[in-house]
Amino acid sequence: MTGEALKMKEIDLETASAQERVRWAADTFGDELIMTTSFGTHSAVMLHLVTSILPEIPVVFIDTGYLFPETYRFAAELSEGLKLNLKKYQARISAAEQEALYGKLWEDGESGLKKYNLMNKVEPMDRAVRELGAKAWLAGLRRSQGASRSGRAIAETQNRMTKIYPVLDWDNRTMHQYLVDNDLPYHPLWDEGYVSLGDWHSTSKLLPGMTEEETRFGGQKRECGLHELSGQADFQI
């Protein structure tokens, strides 16, 4: 799809429902469409929304080896309950080996975080895209999650990949209502004050005076490389 064609489609997608956006992606990309999940606070929303329309879609889960124990249990619960076609990808070397060779990279400032994210998130996602033959992916980004996401379009290109965000314009209230309406669970750490979940070493609770962005990576950055703005992405296909 050319950039101009994608731009024309975005005009329609802005006013479409989340379900219509998923159907558009399915009609446009067919078997070359995947989705990603982090099994975060509201991940059940996207997983249910998409698989209700595309039950066999490959669901890519990037496992860094440093997720909260509650996240692994939540992932198992949702995978079984929604019968996900789960495709788990990890770094080429284990967390233990990484620490032995490089130390705790997340404690090494922005350069350490970049190396950590490239190894544990970007490279596994790059591999997933190649192995699954994907040309487009559905992701659960939302504009309300931070400044780096507030200006996103419903569909955008990142290198040679098209990314579609069906719930981009949903707020927390809308997400919660979807969970209630569909009898879906939310991440158990939500009740403990975690509003955005990633690795245990780089995620903190939302405390008074903090923004959601500041709960990740000590406030140094919001994105891990998979969802950098086009032209600035570490993600390479």
- Does 184 have pLDDT greater than 60? yes
Judged against a pLDDT cut of 90, whether residue 43 lies above it is answered with yes
pLDDT greater than 90 at residue 140: yes
Q: How confident is the model over 113-137, as a mean pLDDT?
A: 95
- Rounded CA-CA distance 236/161 in Å is 9
Q: Is 224 a catalytic site residue?
A: yes
Residue 96: give its domain's CATH number: 3.40.50.620
Can you tell me the mean pLDDT for 13-22? 94
Classify the C-alpha dihedral 95-98-102-105 as positive or negative: negative
Residue range of the domain that includes 107: 3-219
Q: Which candidate, 158, 176, 169, places its Cα nearest to that of 223? A: 158
The answer as to whether 34 is a domain residue is yes
Catalytic member of 25, 78, 105, 224: 224
**Total number of domains in the chain:** 1
- The answer on pLDDT for 142 being more than 60 is yes
161 within some domain: yes
Task: Answer yes or no: is 19 within a domain.
Answer: yes
Confidence of residue 191 (pLDDT cuts 50, 70, 90): confident
Q: Is residue 10 part of a domain?
A: yes
Segment 41-56 shows an average pLDDT of 96
- At 23 the pLDDT is 96
pTM score, two decimals?
A: 0.84
The per-residue pLDDT of the chain, averaged, comes to 86
Q: Comparing 52-56, 79-83, 221-225, 230-234, which segment has the lowest mean pLDDT?
A: 230-234
The answer for residues whose C-beta is within 8 angstroms of residue 166's C-beta and 6 or more apart is: 18, 19, 21, 22, 25, 46, 49, 50, 138, 140, 154
In this predicted structure, the answer to whether residue 180 has a pLDDT above a threshold of 80 is yes
